[in-house]
């Protein structure tokens, strides 16, 4: 019997050789490997639940490590240093490499002025300071291990200030505009950029933020890594930034990417003499730059999204930037886009969210290279414009606010390159026959969208009138390219049979009036489904049972919210064999609300690592586990106790007060059936 630890594995291939002499005779031997790459970890592990993702050190552990490395003891009091150690540790953010590097710089340094100096050095070329050589060497190894194209994309993050939350879609579209991503057959540039983004997360070079359905919507760069990247960017003249204070800007340097943090008039004056003739990319944080950028006609990227106090006047001559590919503004003082914006024939990305723009000018239709359009949901389009934007790949938050506007939905079916579409309805449906006719027309338009063979991601939100949607009549062609299909706050009557044949679907979110065994059977048949989120009033016979024969062979995340009372949920032995994360939400007012459920069979989920349960009620005590006599409390306590006995599993329990009285699912269905009857009539 042996215990073997293989530290810091960079590649999965050598492991195939290392493991050959390691005989497995079921004697209880264990092999532990460490790696900074999630992809390598998956390669080394035979089962996904054997991968343990290291968390940052807690603040107390970080503090002990800092003082032990700096002074040889973690128990000595250093009150004279005040809050400086805590501020340094907040910068390190639980990263052991950063703490060790900084503590070596502070070894036997008891004077507060030395600690103040190191604190000020973090974020200002710390990687070049004496004592940081080991940290820089380790970071360099990780940096140069990245393929060249992804390395360039990582270096580009030096543009952003410390502690920035960087939106994924903004970052990828900027990479595209800069020319870092080359299109490949069968994949768009945005999809390739998404792969680069995920690879940098898997290599632990960027930190994921706002993770939904297994994908991060944003990222952040650790201060220590950002400091290294900024030093690298200066060395290679990759980005010219005011953060690079020690860099001497002379005529021998051609400024190609300019990043300004314009906080005061001194910065504006400093940059007034800089030659901008070679600038390709401009990012400004703070105040608008007084020096005109329009003299540099070769600018391809202009990001003013974090630039305050802008007005319509700042964009009045934007059409002079003939090579512009990316434009982002977000000042609330901007009320309209200039009419000549249609002359920007190379524009690929236009982002005007968080402005006061309410209508796009007709000239937008001339932007035949426009692929990514980001506007607020309540912005309107001139009639017929959508159908002319033939290169559009992504349109998020398209708002339908009137009956006339809903007719524009049929124009999206003409866009053969469209991959992502999000529709938000916010219109009032009149009563009577007129309202019914409008609802039927919405059905027709949405069915046409589902029939599109090009969409990868479709989000439909906020259906008015309370009438459930029927999806049986028309269905996507086969093969279908849909990866994500999300109906939010928009109910369907039943799961259509064709949904079980969506071979590429990974994410599905549905609101179903009532869930029957046939619905579970259809959902389980979706071959590539990884994330399933359901909301319902209840099960057709008062129960929702997940059988091992239902499928769900690839499912990793399962969430279900049961609004009404009287439905039991049960996981049988062998069901959902790969599910790692389960989230349950239901109402509990009395014993009958659970319809006889005990521990839900949650212990039958063999791969479960995270379980979340939320109860809404006006009855149960906040202390459910200790000392409750009612059956509801005993059931919840049984579920929690069962989870806590599972290996590698964590449980999260929440309870919130609901003033509504207990409503049985049969009553809720009766009201729904009445509305459906009116619609059919």
Phi, psi of 50, deg, nearest 5: -90, -5
Neighbours of 670 (CB within 10 A): 10
The answer on pLDDT for 487 being more than 80 is yes
How confident is the model over 118-132, as a mean pLDDT?
Answer: 66
Q: pLDDT at position 597, please?
A: 60
Work out the mean pLDDT of the chain and round it to a whole number: 81
Q: Which of 66-80, 362-376, 489-503 has the lowest mean pLDDT?
A: 66-80
Tell which residue, 368, 364, 369, has the closest CA to residue 383: 364
Residues 6 or more apart whose CB falls under 8 angstroms from that of 498 comprise 475, 476
Residue with the larger pLDDT of the pair 372 and 125: 372
Tell which residue, 428, 432, 484, 494, has the closest CA to residue 460: 484
Alpha helices in 236-364 (DSSP H): 265-270
Highest averaged pLDDT of the listed ranges 398-412, 488-502, 602-616: 488-502
Q: What confidence tens digit (pLDDT) does each residue in 392-427 have?
A: 999 988 988 877 777 788 888 889 899 999 998 877
DSSP assignment of 233-283, as one string? HHHTT--EETT-TT----TTS---EEEEEE-SHHHHHHGGG---TT--EEE
Conformation bin of residue 474: beta by default, left when phi > 0, alpha when psi is -120 to 50: beta
Q: Which of 68-77, 203-212, 376-385, 515-524 has the lowest mean pLDDT?
A: 68-77
Q: pLDDT at position 13, please?
A: 82
Q: pLDDT at position 643, please?
A: 65
Cα-to-chain-centroid distance, residue 573: 33
- DSSP H or E stretch at residue 222: none
Tell which residue, 151, 139, 67, has the closest CA to residue 106: 67
Q: Are 469 and 462 in contact (CB under 8 A)?
A: no
The angle at the Cα of 635, spanning 629 to 636, to the nearest 5 degrees, equals: 100
Q: pLDDT at position 624, please?
A: 47
Q: Are 649 and 643 in contact (CB under 8 A)?
A: yes
DSSP β-bridge partners for residue 245: none
What is the distance between the alpha carbons of residues 97 and 146, in angstroms, rounded to a whole number?
Answer: 19
Q: Which two tokens stand for residue 635?
A: 């059931």
DSSP β-bridge partners for residue 512: 492, 536
The answer on pLDDT for 676 being more than 60 is no
CA neighbours closer than 13 Å in the CB half-sphere of residue 423: 25
How confident is the model over 625-649, as a mean pLDDT?
Answer: 60
What is the distance between the alpha carbons of residues 507 and 119, in angstroms, rounded to a whole number?
Answer: 44
Angstrom distances, CA of residue 307 to CA of 244, 329, 340, 468? 20, 8, 22, 44
Neighbours of 262 (CB within 10 A): 20
Tell which residue, 582, 663, 580, 651, has the closest CA to residue 616: 663
- DSSP H or E stretch at residue 305: strand 301-307
Q: In what order do the strands lie in the sheet with 215-220?
A: 166-167, 215-220, 207-212
Highest averaged pLDDT of the listed ranges 303-312, 361-370, 663-672: 361-370
Q: What is the pTM of this model?
A: 0.82
Q: What confidence tens digit (pLDDT) does each residue in 48-61 have?
A: 557 888 888 898 89
Residue with the larger pLDDT of the pair 605 and 167: 167
Q: Are 155 and 232 in contact (CB under 8 A)?
A: yes
Q: What confidence tens digit (pLDDT) does each residue in 282-305 have?
A: 998 877 655 555 556 789 999 998
What is the distance between the alpha carbons of residues 143 and 155, in angstroms, rounded to a whole number?
Answer: 9
How confident is the model over 229-237, as a mean pLDDT?
Answer: 90
Q: Which of 19-28, 92-101, 353-362, 631-640 has the lowest mean pLDDT?
A: 631-640
Q: Which two tokens stand for residue 580?
A: 């790692």
Q: pLDDT at position 622, please?
A: 42
The answer on pLDDT for 642 being more than 70 is no
- DSSP H or E stretch at residue 208: strand 207-212
Conformation bin of residue 579: beta by default, left when phi > 0, alpha when psi is -120 to 50: beta
Which residue is listed with tokens 């069915």?
447
How confident is the model over 443-461, as a mean pLDDT?
Answer: 81
Q: Are 36 and 11 in contact (CB under 8 A)?
A: no
Q: How confident is the model at residue 111 (pLDDT cuts 50, 70, 90)?
A: confident
Q: How confident is the model at residue 670 (pLDDT cuts 50, 70, 90)?
A: low
Q: Which of 234-238, 449-453, 539-543 has the lowest mean pLDDT?
A: 449-453
Q: What confidence tens digit (pLDDT) does each residue in 303-341 have?
A: 998 887 788 888 888 998 999 999 999 988 899 999 999
| Residue 372: DSSP 8-state | E
Share of the chain above pLDDT 70, in %: 79
Q: Is the peptide bond before 479 cis (omega within 30 degrees of 0)?
A: yes
What is the distance between the alpha carbons of residues 412 and 418, in angstroms, rounded to a whole number?
Answer: 8
DSSP β-bridge partners for residue 45: none
How confident is the model over 652-660, as a mean pLDDT?
Answer: 61
| Helix, strand or coil, per DSSP, at residue 303 | strand
């Amino acid at each position: 019997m042996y215990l073997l630890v293989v530290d810091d594995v960079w590649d999965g291939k050598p492991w195939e050789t290392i493991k050959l002499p390691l005989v497995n005779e079921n004697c209880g031997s264990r092999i532990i490997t460490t790696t900074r790459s999630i992809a390598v970890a998956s390669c080394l592990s035979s089962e996904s639940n054997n991968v343990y993702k290291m968390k940052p050190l807690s603040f107390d552990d970080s503090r002990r490590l800092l003082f032990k490395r700096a002074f040889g003891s973690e128990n000595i009091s250093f009150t004279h240093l005040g809050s400086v150690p805590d501020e340094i540790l907040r910068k390190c953010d639980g990263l052991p490499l950063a703490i060790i590097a900084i503590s070596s710089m502070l070894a036997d340094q008891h004077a507060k002025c030395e600690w103040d100096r190191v604190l000020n050095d973090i974020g200002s070329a710390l990687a070049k300071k004496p004592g940081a050589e080991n940290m820089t060497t380790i970071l360099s190894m990780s940096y140069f291990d990245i393929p060249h194209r992804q390395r360039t994309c990582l270096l580009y993050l030096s543009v952003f200030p410390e502690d920035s939350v960087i939106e994924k879609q903004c970052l990828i579209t900027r990479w595209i505009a800069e020319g870092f991503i080359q299109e490949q057959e069968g994949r768009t540039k945005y999809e390739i950029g998404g792969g680069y983004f995920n690879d940098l997360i898997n290599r632990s070079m960027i930190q994921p933020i706002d993770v939904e359905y297994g994908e991060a919507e944003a990222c952040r760069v650790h201060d220590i890594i950002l400091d290294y990247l900024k030093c690298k960017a200066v060395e290679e003249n990759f980005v010219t930034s005011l953060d690079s204070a020690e860099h001497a800007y002379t005529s021998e340097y051609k400024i190609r990417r300019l990043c300004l943090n314009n906080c005061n008039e001194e910065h504006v004056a400093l940059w007034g003499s800089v030659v901008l003739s070679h600038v390709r990319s401009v990012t400004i944080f703070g105040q608008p730059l007084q020096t005109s950028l329009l003299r540099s006609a070769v600018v391809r990227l202009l990001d003013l999204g974090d630039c305050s106090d802008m007005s319509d006047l700042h964009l009045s001559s934007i059409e002079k930037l003939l090579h512009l590919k990316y434009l982002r503004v977000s000042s609330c003082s901007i009320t309209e886009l200039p009419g000549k914006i249609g002359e920007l024939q190379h524009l690929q990305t236009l982002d005007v969210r968080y402005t006061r723009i309410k209508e796009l000018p007709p000239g937008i239709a001339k932007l035949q290279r426009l692929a990514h359009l980001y506007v607020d949901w309540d912005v309107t389009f001139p009639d017929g414009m959508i159908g002319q934007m033939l290169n559009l790949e992504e349109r998020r938050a398209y708002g339908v606010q009137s009956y006339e506007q809903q007719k524009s939905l049929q124009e999206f079916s003409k866009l053969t390159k469209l991959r992502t579409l999000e529709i938000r309805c916010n219109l009032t449906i009149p009563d009577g026959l007129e309202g019914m006719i409008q609802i039927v027309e919405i059905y027709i338009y949405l069915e046409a969208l589902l029939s599109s063979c090009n969409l990868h991601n479709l989000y439909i939100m906020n259906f008015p009138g309370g009438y459930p949607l029927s999806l049986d009549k028309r269905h996507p062609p086969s093969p279908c390219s849909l990866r994500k299909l999300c109906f939010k706050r928009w109910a369907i009557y039943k799961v259509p049979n064709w949904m079980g044949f969506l071979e590429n679907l990974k994410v599905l979110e549905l609101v179903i009036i009532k869930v029957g065994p046939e619905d579970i059977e259809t959902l389980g048949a979706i071959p590539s489904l990884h994330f399933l989120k359901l909301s319902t009033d209840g099960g057709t016979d008062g129960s929702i049972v997940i059988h091992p024969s239902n499928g769900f062979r690839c499912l990793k995340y399962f969430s279900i919210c049961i609004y009404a009372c009287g439905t039991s949920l049960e996981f049988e032995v062998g069901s959902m064999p790969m599910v790692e994360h389960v989230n349950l939400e239901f109402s509990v007012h009395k014993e009958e609300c659970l319809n006889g459920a005990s521990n839900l069979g949650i212990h039958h989920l063999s791969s479960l690592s995270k379980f979340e349960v939320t109860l809404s009620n006006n009855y149960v005590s906040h202390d459910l586990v200790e000392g409750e006599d009612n059956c509801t409390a005993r059931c919840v306590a049984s579920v929690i106790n069962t989870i806590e006995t599972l290996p590698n599993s964590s449980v999260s329990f929440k309870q919130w007060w609901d003033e509504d009285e207990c409503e049985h699912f049969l009553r809720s269905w009766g009201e729904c059936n009445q509305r459906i009857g009116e619609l059919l009539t």
